[in-house]
Amino acid sequence: MALAKKEFIKLCICEGCPSYVECGGERAFCHTDIGDSRCIKAEKGCVCPGCPVLEKMGFKHIYYCMRGSEKEQLG
């Protein structure tokens, strides 16, 4: 099931992550059009495994904020 970027953002829980740093509202780093954060500089924990976006999309990776979107991590 494909989700539009707007749906990714609506379901996103990035703001509750210990690694999250507010940066102009950027989040949903797992989405291909967004990818890694230009503001988050340290992995301090991750809420990705409990994210509804990952569940709906069947994503396998975590720490998108520092490592890039699911597609980028697949290489």
pLDDT tens track for 42-56: 999 999 999 999 999
> What are the tokens at 54?
């990952």
The model carries a pTM of: 0.89
Q: Is residue 59 predicted with pLDDT exceeding 90? A: yes
> What are the tokens at 12?
């996103």
Q: Is residue 1 predicted with pLDDT exceeding 70? A: no
> What are the tokens at 45?
């924990």
Residue ranges per domain, the chain? 5-74
State the pLDDT at residue 54: 94
